Structure 1
């Protein structure tokens, strides 16, 4: 099968179902770059202050441009349902139009304009349903900033810098990065000239605006975008891209291999007369298998067949078209599928692996993630961003596909994703191999590494020691325990992975600590101490 045919099929899948397929992603192999390591670690000695809690300034002090291309809501999603619970909306929708793909269910639950999870509540922090690394410790954002500064310096230290963050949350990570930039002599003379935030929630935009007003960068032009595909490249700025806990919340499709072929997993009402499959439970909603092909499973099955039979010519048979498409939106369990170690696969080990999975296997595919990753990759193309770029993706997942990772979070606990829709965060593990494949045309990727390895390689221990020396006694225990939580082997330290993105053609080892053997070296040093 030709590369052109493969690309055509992937594009067709993305357009028709917002779904795509994965490839393998390996840690870049190279010698340990000692000079880069020394430069990175030396930054932690600078007097970056403890995070302060300022009184909020008026949000109007931030120079803001808001870009919105959202389409008007239809009768199902519109304000006429605002007084009702989202569960009622979902049940009426299913009874009227049929069971929903998981991707559509996630979109409505997370982003419904009046009843969605991210549009109606404060979901972050100890009072919300989950807490993120930036909220736990300021050191997280500081070390990310240090990594970005070293990449900026390695790519010629352009005079203008812009920051693009996907899903900024409360703006805490952005504020910590900006604060660190101001404290580092290498970066303080090179101002951040623009900030681009991908955020569709009006409530969160307001919170982010207030956070920016307190960051000391109130005079920087700030633009908000509904979707990552809208962010344009820049010809005269160095681009920094941050995607922290963004891809895990993008919608997924779930497919199951059955004796009759791949069938899509759908969300149905728990009604014996309306359910897709019998033996319904007492819950208001349930998962069931589509009795026949759906648009997404049809295109996926065709793609799998072509990959499994590379002699076929995909270009002679156009991909099917559909009356409706499944729109993207902006969330962890053991994997069920492992990629075969075969370098001779026609395009991607993931594609051929899916074609050979046994009956009963499930796969989760996020076409929205593919689309976003391809758009991000274009920001790294030398032709569109000649001043350079650097990016970090930090999320749950690994460089492999998952089959049963979709879950809900509520009050800091894992829950059934079908319970209390609109009041529950929905998330699925990120397949970094899949992102790597989507980025490959325009950018180089490095990793993923565990969050523990990434932060410790950048000097977490030294930075914490510095903070403890200057912190009041009453805060020292809090600082130390927060840092430990970030690198906990049984928790965030290994559950979160970090992948770096740089322009194509960067020298091997230029994206330290993404070098072969770094995790083993750190573990060995820890045992020796």
Structure 2
């Protein structure tokens, strides 16, 4: 096999040999293939990249998450030692802003062991650069199972669930089928349906013929493993992502390149692929594993409860010339027609007596 072969060529050959590939397997390969995966080789965040996340829109987002972590630490009894964990830290901006805000609270940083979970080598490099001047030096681990449980854990996962893919099932006139990726005679990738008789959890709600029903085993496993960690160590995990707050049908697979939606099958590994977070499935898995959970809030409501509007006013008072920019940032993070409604926030926690900031109204 030539090193110059594209990921698309390799996937087409593999599918031709072994049969159609599930959507979940395809997304995983597109994102994490060691030689051609998007995050393994060419992640591009920010206005000049392929997509932008909330921490890159405004410092207010990361600052408020940092203060959320501080308040959670206080409600855990301000332990002398705890672990602050971020899963999928992007380019490090969120954590950099969070630590700057947390610096104002005596004792928090001194008690903190900072851990980052990041599979992407290029992104680990950016995170190290962003945090080079921070008050804490991070250490990187491979996954949740590598986090010690001898101290409380406060965990942040912003836009992580949408990177954990789902299989797609379709109800047809002849029964259930799975949507998979096949290959044409011209070696192009194409969606198709494979008839199935079982082997998946049918939806607990009515679904019309032709509609897509997504099931993410990886998201459920993430919820289960988070619950196991928090049950063993105590603490809370904050999940923020775009997705559904109730079970529903819908094909949510999308590919973004230079902030534009593109065909997910066109150039595997050259665009960011995502699917919606399935908050009901994640939270249900956490409850089954013995943790407690909050309900879902919209991102706009969550940030307002944390005080984003007051923070925006303080920033404008200090920089009147930047007021129009700050207002636009606030609108983008909280407005219903921007990120405020589509994005949701939820928390998994233990012990049951913990009152998670943002859900105490």
Shorter-chain TM range is over 0.9
Looking at structure 2, the residues matched to 163 and 434 of structure 1 have their Cα atoms a distance apart, in angstroms, of: 25
Asked if 1 retains the 8 angstrom alpha-carbon contact of 2:255 and 2:271, the reply is yes
Change (3 A) 1:442 1:81: farther
1:87 maps to 2:4:
no
Question: Any idea what SS the aligned residue of 1:115 has?
Answer: coil
Structure whose CA Rg is larger? 1
Asked if 1 retains the 8 angstrom alpha-carbon contact of 2:79 and 2:111, the reply is no
Looking at structure 2, the residues matched to 121 and 476 of structure 1 have their Cα atoms a distance apart, in angstroms, of: 34
1:397 maps to 2:243:
yes
Question: Any idea what SS the aligned residue of 1:185 has?
Answer: coil
- 2:147 aligns with 232
Looking at structure 1, the residues matched to 105 and 73 of structure 2 have their Cα atoms a distance apart, in angstroms, of: 13
The Cα offsets for residues 408-429 of structure 1, whole Å up to 9 and x where unpaired, read as: 1111122222222111111111
1:164 maps to 2:78:
no
1:144 maps to 2:65:
yes
Greater strand content: 2
The Cα offsets for residues 157-215 of structure 1, whole Å up to 9 and x where unpaired, read as: 11112111111111111111112111223635x431x2222211111111112222121
Looking at structure 2, the residues matched to 127 and 494 of structure 1 have their Cα atoms a distance apart, in angstroms, of: 25
Looking at structure 2, the residues matched to 90 and 455 of structure 1 have their Cα atoms a distance apart, in angstroms, of: 42
Q: CA deviation at 1:90?
A: 1.5
1:451 maps to 2:304:
no
Correspondence 1:208-219 to 2 at 5 A: 208-218=127-137
Q: 2:52 aligns with which of 131, 156, 160?
A: 131
The Cα offsets for residues 357-398 of structure 1, whole Å up to 9 and x where unpaired, read as: 3432321111111111111111211xx21xx31211000112
Gaps of 5+ in 2: none
Question: Any idea what SS the aligned residue of 2:213 has?
Answer: strand
Q: 2:111 aligns with which of 188, 191, 199?
A: 191
Looking at structure 2, the residues matched to 102 and 467 of structure 1 have their Cα atoms a distance apart, in angstroms, of: 44
Looking at structure 2, the residues matched to 287 and 215 of structure 1 have their Cα atoms a distance apart, in angstroms, of: 46
Point out which structure has higher relative CO (alpha carbons under 8 A, 6+ apart): 1
Change (3 A) 1:110 1:196: same
Correspondence 1:117-128 to 2 at 5 A: 117-128=38-49
Correspondence 1:25-174 to 2 at 5 A: 80-174=1-95
- 2:192 aligns with 288
TM, length-normalised to structure 1? 0.64
1:359 maps to 2:280:
no
Asked if 2 retains the 8 angstrom alpha-carbon contact of 1:129 and 1:410, the reply is yes
Q: CA deviation at 1:81?
A: 4.6
- 1:442 aligns with 290
The Cα offsets for residues 67-116 of structure 1, whole Å up to 9 and x where unpaired, read as: xxxxxxxxxxxxx4531122111211111111111111111111111111
- 2:308 aligns with 460
The Cα offsets for residues 190-247 of structure 1, whole Å up to 9 and x where unpaired, read as: 431x2222211111111112222121213x5x1321x33x333421x22111110001
Asked if 2 retains the 8 angstrom alpha-carbon contact of 1:94 and 1:269, the reply is yes
Question: Any idea what SS the aligned residue of 2:153 has?
Answer: strand
Q: CA deviation at 1:505?
A: 1.7
The Cα offsets for residues 326-349 of structure 1, whole Å up to 9 and x where unpaired, read as: xxxxxxxxxxxxxxxxxxxxxxxx
Q: 2:166 aligns with which of 232, 238, 252?
A: 252
Looking at structure 2, the residues matched to 413 and 491 of structure 1 have their Cα atoms a distance apart, in angstroms, of: 16
Aligned residues: 359
Gaps of 5+ in 1: 1-79, 275-283, 305-350, 519-529
- Structure 1 vs Structure 2 CA RMSD: 2.0
Q: CA deviation at 1:504?
A: 3.9
Q: 1:269 aligns with which of 176, 183, 188?
A: 183
